[in-house]
Amino acid sequence: MGAYIRRRLLQSVVVVWGVSVLVFFLLRLAPGDPVTLLLVESASPEQIAEARAKWGLDKPIPVQYAVFLGRALQGDLGNSLFFQQPAIKVLMERMPATLQLSAAALLFSLSVAIPVGLLSALKRDTVWDYLGTGLAMMGQAIPPYWLGIMLILVFSVGLGWFPTSGRGTPSHLVLPAITLGSVLMALITRLVRSGMLDVLGEDYVRTARAKGLRERTVIVRHALRNILIPLVTVIGLQLGALFGGAVITESIFAWPGVGRLALQSINARDYPMVQASVLVISVVYVFLNLAVDLLYVYLDPRIRYDRSAN
């Protein structure tokens, strides 16, 4: 187990480094100059050159990356060109909002998908199965940005049940969480349904029923438990997608999180802020994947990570 963790940590470091290289160089290759965006239109060439030197943008791109990497290893991700504050400080101020939204979206997805998926499997080829399958198909077919706009028009503008934007009360969280979690809800619903259909025909399930166990016990302790590993795998992989999808959702609902911050920083060509946002999200993503792998051992004691295991 120790060797596996060390190997995965090394892989994670390589992944994060690769992301930092890709984002750093793509930002520099994109059209536009952050200096001309931040300075007034009447700025002289001398003032522009002075600003570029101040922010280190006058150096060759490989040199800029070497400076960035050296500072990043010391925990310094640079100063935001737009906010004029340390990028990590601005990012940490926005991170709680994104974590709150992602957690709410995950809670919504699980609370809807697991019951619906179970019901669809247990009531196969009935109206309940068709409704559950239809809900999953709608969740995967409807673009989140369109769903978010429709939710605002119906439940905020039309009915006045929820606020249109912002963050403050629990009611502000409802529509963004549904929007962000809709695709994950659909994916988990289909996974639970197909997984349950597979295990319900297994010998150990028939044996449990033959012993006279309650149907609820058979479903929860014997059937549902055996689809937890693929379920946890999908959730672990999709948590990164929740962070990525938060860019659109936070923009629609003016949610003050990392996603909206990243989009604003891209539009402003705020290189340090974009780099810090992507780097932190990458670290969170690889950490979640490592945590999911370690969770397998708890869910299925037969799994062991050693040198002979693949």
Per-residue pLDDT reduced to its tens digit, 257-297: 888 888 888 877 787 888 888 888 888 888 877 777 777 66
Low-confidence ranges of the chain (pLDDT < 70): 1-2, 4, 30-43, 55, 296-310
Class of domain 87-299 as given by CATH: mainly alpha
- Paired with 79 in beta bridges are 86
Does residue 59 sit in helix, strand or coil? Answer: coil
Q: pTM of the full predicted structure?
A: 0.77
pLDDT number for residue 13: 84
Residue that is written with structure tokens 């198909």 in the block: 137
pLDDT number for residue 152: 92
What DSSP character marks residue 227?
G
In order, the DSSP letters of 18-33 are HHHHHHHHHHHHSS--
- Token pair of 133, please? 């399958």
Residue that is written with structure tokens 């988990």 in the block: 188
Q: CA–CA separation, 147 vs 138, rounded Å?
A: 10
Of 92, 36, 32, 23, nearest in space to 64 by CA: 23
Q: What stretch of H or E contains 112?
A: helix 87-122
What DSSP character marks residue 241?
H
Of 81, 88, 83, nearest in space to 269 by CA: 81
Residue that is written with structure tokens 């948590």 in the block: 239
pLDDT number for residue 43: 66
Phi (first) and psi of residue 79, to 5 degrees = -100, 135
Cα Rg of the chain (Å, integer): 24
At residue 258's C-alpha, the angle toward residues 255 and 262, to 5°, is: 105
- Paired with 86 in beta bridges are 79
